[in-house]
């Protein structure tokens, strides 16, 4: 994806208030992110471990989403496969994240959940630039390009749900 500036990121969020977007912690390593290998920019909130953020592109424009990890009594909810990049991580590493919907539906408290790599590095797993310790990506018959298209398609489908 095209490199993003802090300004791009702050103005991209669709599911939080302008005030919240202004206060969000920006990733400190924007200059060093491997943009060519990213389908979306994702980062965790160092000051609030139950929050994370991602910015992707929709119709050529950056679209940012804020997430929370809904904590169960036993901690974060885990499942073994990321629903975006389909990396399997039986030892943990995939968490349920919920995003408030955009607009009025979100203000009324509606949200959408997605099981996703907790480190938000899906783009790198798909490309083999980052490898998980336990578990693996299952044998793929798809080409890398097809896998990337599938991941971005899954993400786009999720983002679309936020607008419904
Ligand atoms: Zn993933």
| Each residue's pLDDT tens digit, 94-123 | 889 999 999 999 999 999 999 999 999 999
Predicted confidence band of residue 76 (pLDDT cuts 50, 70, 90): low
CA 80 – ligand 1 centroid, Å: 10
CA 104 – ligand 1 centroid, Å: 29
CA 96 – ligand 1 centroid, Å: 11
Amino acid 22: pLDDT: 95
Residue pair 87/117 in contact (Cβ under 8 Å)? The answer is yes
| 138 has pLDDT over 70 | no
Q: Which of 142, 122, 140, 141 is nearest to 132 (CA)?
A: 122
CA 87 – ligand 1 centroid, Å: 6
Give the residue-averaged pLDDT of 74-88.
Answer: 80
CA 78 – ligand 1 centroid, Å: 13
Which H/E stretch holds residue 163? Answer: helix 144-163
Q: Which of 13, 27, 26 is nearest to 67 (CA)?
A: 13
CA 153 – ligand 1 centroid, Å: 13
* Buried/exposed code over 37-51 (b: 16+ C-beta within 10 A; e: otherwise): ebbbbbbbeeeeeeb
pLDDT tens profile 20-45? 999 999 999 999 999 999 999 999 99
CA 36 – ligand 1 centroid, Å: 17
CA dist list (Å): 52 to 65, 106, 120, 144: 9, 17, 9, 27
Mean pLDDT over each residue of the chain, to the nearest integer: 91
CA 115 – ligand 1 centroid, Å: 8
CA 82 – ligand 1 centroid, Å: 5
Query: What CA–CA distance (Å, rounded) separates 61 from 57?
Result: 5
Give the residue-averaged pLDDT of 82-90.
Answer: 90
Question: How many CB atoms are closer than 10 A to CB 4?
Answer: 21
Query: What CA–CA distance (Å, rounded) separates 153 from 12?
Result: 19
Q: Which pair of structure tokens corresponds to residue 110?
A: 């509606």
Return the bridge partners of 57, or none.
Answer: 62
pTM score, two decimals? 0.91
Amino acid 73: pLDDT: 47
């Amino acid at each position: 994806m095209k490199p993003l500036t802090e300004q791009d990121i702050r103005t991209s969020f669709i599911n939080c208030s302008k005030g919240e977007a202004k206060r969000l912690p920006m990733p400190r390593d924007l200059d060093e992110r491997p943009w060519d290998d990213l389908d979306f920019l994702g980062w965790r909130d160092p000051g609030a471990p139950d929050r994370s953020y991602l910015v992707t592109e929709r119709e050529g424009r950056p679209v940012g989403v804020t997430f929370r990890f809904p904590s169960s009594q036993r901690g974060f909810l885990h499942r073994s496969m990321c629903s975006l990049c389909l990396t399997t991580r039986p030892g943990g590493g995939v968490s349920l994240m919920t995003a408030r919907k955009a607009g009025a539906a979100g203000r009324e408290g509606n949200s959408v959940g997605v099981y996703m790599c907790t480190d938000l590095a899906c783009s790198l797993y798909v490309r083999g630039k980052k490898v998980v310790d336990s578990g693996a990506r299952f044998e793929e018959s798809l080409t890398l390009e097809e896998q990337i298209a599938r991941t971005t398609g899954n993400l786009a489908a999720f983002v679309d749900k936020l607008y419904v």
